[in-house]
Structure 1
Amino acid sequence: MKKKTSFSTKGNRADIGPLAITRFLPNRYTDKVGPFVFLDYVAPAIKEAISKNGMGAHPHRGIATLTYILQGKVEHFDSAGHTGEIRSGGAQWMKAGNGIIHDENINYDAQTNNKIVEGFQFWINLPAKNKAESPAHIAIQAEEIPRKKLENQNGWIKVIVGNFEELSSKIPNYSEQFLYHIHLEIGKQFSIVVDEKIEVAAFLPTKSAKLNEIDFEGGEFVEFDRETGEIEIKNTSEDSIDIILFGGEEYTEPVFAEGPFVMNSLGEIADAYRDFYAGKYGQIQLK
């Protein structure tokens, strides 16, 4: 049995400077998909000049942030002393834990033949027991992300978070969760069976596709029902397409989100702000 669509949306604009950003989570229909509570998509854009300053340092607490850059280069700095750089196809994960200040600088990738930037930022809600842990950071280059070819030359799949068959990501799992990048050639398809306990959504960045025999346009975010069933993706475009498929088990603890903090009570939100203004998250020290 194929899973049914719960809703679809084209998100809301949330531009930052020259970058055209669309926010898909939270949205008018849901605040989360499994442990994922936030999704911004940076649509393909030409960035002519190299920026030396970041996007703006800001705090986080109670979550892990995940940046997946399709095209471009991202530099990371944080108040725990972590730094990192990823290029086209790479990902970086930062556990904010009990509080951190971080900044990212997004530029084009000089190692490619274009000046396009395109990518995603997700927030992954941490279980209550992990929200008080120390911050951590992992940078994973494109060649380090598990990837395999699909059967019958259908395309390929990359595992950014979680597991798929024999593939396993380096990013820690605090609950059952996954984030796949699926690439399908013209006229090809991909199918996966999802258990009833798993919440799952798909995003079509730029090209249209047929999901369980329903046509969706590029730029659409689609969430499915919570019954056990199959998700079948067919490439009906005149070119190869990319799909982001993600989700995980339902986050059953209370969720209170305000600004850059996601906690389990309003009191914890107040504590997060109090500690930030008291300087307990430290400062970014650039060398």
Structure 2
Amino acid sequence: MRTVKRVHPAFRDDIGDLVTRRPVPGPAIGHVGAFLFLNHHGPQTYPANNRGLPFGPHPHRGFETVTFILAGELAHTDSAGHASIIRAGGIQWMTAGSGIVHAEVSPAEFKRDGGPMEILQLWVNLPSRLKMTAPRYVGAQAGAIPSVAVDGATVHLVAGMFGEARGVVDSLTGVFLSWVEIAAGGSVTFSGLEGRDVFLYAVRGVFHVEGTAVAHFHLAELTPGDAVTIAADAPALFLFGHAAPIDEPIVAHGPFVMNSEAEIRQAFADYQAGRFGVAEIVEA
């Protein structure tokens, strides 16, 4: 069984009026294998007539973004022609691959009326053989995401298999991703983790791994092993994923994650030359 090696706090790094916490990268941990970056926006309540989220058109290359909309709603558009508005309980999975421009903003209705908002965005690395793959996008509402109930926990299955259930996204690299709601006294065990990089982040409440408590806004770095059991004495919510190691250099600069400085320079050149295309902001 895996145990907790170290607990890493998420540090505040607000973006204007958007409450933002980031557990990784942090002072003591640069990444968790293929899991490169997590921004936890909110929880907070926006007033009526607000400006909404600030993520207008911007480029990416070489990795994937997975966005969990826990509260509120998020409008996505990109230069590959995808557009959707995903509401609470849904996800957006975007493969930037060879290069894409996307915008993530609040719909006009949310800016007019306001309301609660909490969003997680996770960056997942791609191996060199897939960094220049064609961009793709999956937007799934809550009702399309399988939910598996087990021992007082509900596993919302985004990618990978849990029991007989299959996630809504077929990952290019076999990544498993879920978020889990756990009731008081509940527990859940994930197995098949030998040799995998495991990502475990406490969003709400407190959970326990083999007797070690992990509170909300903390990332749990785990020891090696084939399985992990996560339990809670009171209601909690956490993000759980695992992926095969990518034994390659990671060279990240701004919105690009590649394997060399030369590839980063080429990404900037391609973007500046307009080769990523254009994303229009959707307001309705």
Same fold, judged at TM 0.5 (above) = yes
1:59 matched to which residue of 2?
A: 59
Query: Equivalences for 1:155-174 in 2 at 5 Å?
Result: 155-174=153-172
**Residue of structure 2 in register with 1:148 after alignment:** 148
Q: Which residue of 2 aligns with 1:3?
A: 2
Q: CA deviation at 1:201?
A: 2.5
Q: Deviations over 1:161-203 (max 9, x none)?
A: 2221212123232223211211111122222234321111311
1:182 matched to which residue of 2?
180
Partner of 1:275: 270
1:208-234 Cα deviation digits (max 9, x unpaired): 121211122222111112x22432222
Number of positions where the alignment pairs a residue of Structure 1 with one of Structure 2: 279
Measured in 2, the distance between the counterparts of 1:216 and 1:170 equals 28
- Contact 1:190/1:234 (<8 A) preserved: yes
Change (3 A) 1:176 1:52: closer
Match runs of 1:1-287 below 5 Å: 2-49=1-48, 50-51=50-51, 54-106=54-106, 115-151=115-151, 154-225=152-223, 227-237=224-234, 240-285=235-280
Shift of 1:86: 0.4
Structure 2 unaligned segments of length 5 or more: list them: none
Contact 1:7 1:29 (C-alpha < 8 Å) held by counterparts: no
Determine the C-alpha separation between the residues in 1 that align with 2:231 and 2:281: 47
* Residues 54-74 of structure 1: CA deviation (Å, up to 9, x unaligned): 522211001111111011100
CA distance in 1, matches of 2:226, 2:221: 13
Q: Distance in 2 between matches of 1:163 and 1:233?
A: 18
CA contact (8 A) 1:63 1:126 kept: yes
Q: Are the equivalent residues in 2 in contact too, given 1:35–1:177 (CA < 8 A)?
A: no
Mapped contact 1:10–1:24 kept (Cα < 8 A):
yes
Residue type of the alignment partner of 1:232 = T
Partner-residue secondary structure (3-state), 2:143: helix
SS at match of 1:202: strand
The alpha-carbon deviation at position 109 of structure 1 amounts to 8.3
Determine the C-alpha separation between the residues in 2 that align with 1:119 and 1:267.
Answer: 33
What is the aligned-residue identity percentage? 30
CA gap 1:172/1:229 in 2 versus in 1, 3 angstroms = closer
Per the TM alignment, residue 35 of structure 1 is displaced from its structure 2 partner at its CA by 2.0
For 1:158, the aligned partner's letter is: H
Distance 1:286 1:23, change over 3 A: closer
Q: TM-score, normalized by length of structure 2?
A: 0.91
Supply the AA of the counterpart residue of 2:183.
E
RMSD of aligned alpha carbons: 2.2
